[in-house]
Amino acid sequence: MLFVATHTHAPESCPVNDPVSVHEMAKAEHAKECGVTVLGSYIAPPEHLMYFVLDASDYSSVVKFFRPLMKIGLPRITPVQTLEEATGIFPVTPRRGGRRRTRA
Query: Distance from first CA to last CA of the chain, Å, rounded?
Result: 26
- Interval 7-25: pLDDT, tens: 999 999 998 888 898 999 9
Determine, yes or no, domain membership for 50. yes
Provide the b/e sequence for 68-79 (b: ≥16 CB within 10 Å): bbeebbebebee
**Domain assignment of residue 58, given as a range:** 2-88
Question: For the domain that residue 24 is a member of, what is the CATH number?
Answer: 3.30.70.1060
| Residue 18 lies inside a defined structural domain of this protein | yes
Q: How many domains does the chain have?
A: 1
Is-above-0.85 flag for pTM? no
Statement: residue 102 has pLDDT above 80: no
Q: Are the CB atoms for 37 and 56 separated by under 8 Å?
A: yes
